[in-house]
Amino acid sequence: MKQHILPAIKLTLVCVLLFMITYPALIWAVAQAAPAKGEGETVTVNGKTVGYRLEGQMFNNGRYFWSRPSAVGYNAAGSAGSNKGPSNPDYLKEVQARIDTFLAHHPGVSKAQLPSDMVTASGSGLDPDISLQAAGIQAERIAKFRNIAKDKIDALIRHHIEKSINGIERINVLSINIALDQLK
């Protein structure tokens, strides 16, 4: 029995040292070299933190661009998809409710014009970006709500286009909504 217990205790101590002390210290040290010291890309306006650039947030006010829906209620601690398949009746009801809500607030838009990213959640449930089509389809509502020309909203969209590594164009919702509030 002694011949089995002593190696097991040694292995446990080595694993504790490696996985509970060395590895976390290494990750912390690498994070300290990052631009935000491992705190993520916080966005501040007038000295106040308003959100995180790489984390989706809920915007459902008519004054703002709406975010992509979240399967986790925009809770970063529970980042995940819904795991409901496209034939799941609960999932289909959820998507239909999102479609109905979107179309009710965008009377000139037909269901066929509706971009999928406005009614389906991403795999992480926290996608901070929307497609150009999703931004463009909301421009009319925002212009009416803010009583400004739609051309200004369209220009703002063009100004906030970002390209991902694979060349896909997108709009960061937090960034463009901050810019909306700064429009005169």
pLDDT digits (tens, 9 = 90+) for 55-74: 888 888 889 999 999 888 88
Give the H or E element holding residue 173. helix 173-182
pLDDT, one tens digit per residue, over 24-39 is 999 988 888 877 777 7
Handedness of CA 118, 120, 126, 127 (dihedral sign): negative
Please name the residues in contact with 148: beta carbons below 8 A apart, sequence gap of 6 or more.
Answer: 183
- CA distances to 23, 66, 103, 177 from 58, rounded to whole Å, are 35, 7, 18, 11
Structural tokens at position 162: 């970002």
pLDDT in tens, 95-113: 999 999 999 999 889 999 9
pLDDT in tens, 46-56: 888 777 777 88
Please give the sequence-ordered ranges of beta strands (E in DSSP) within 26-95, or none if there are none.
Answer: 42-45, 48-52
The predicted model scores a pTM of: 0.77
Whether residue 83 is predicted with pLDDT greater than 80 in this model: the reply is: no
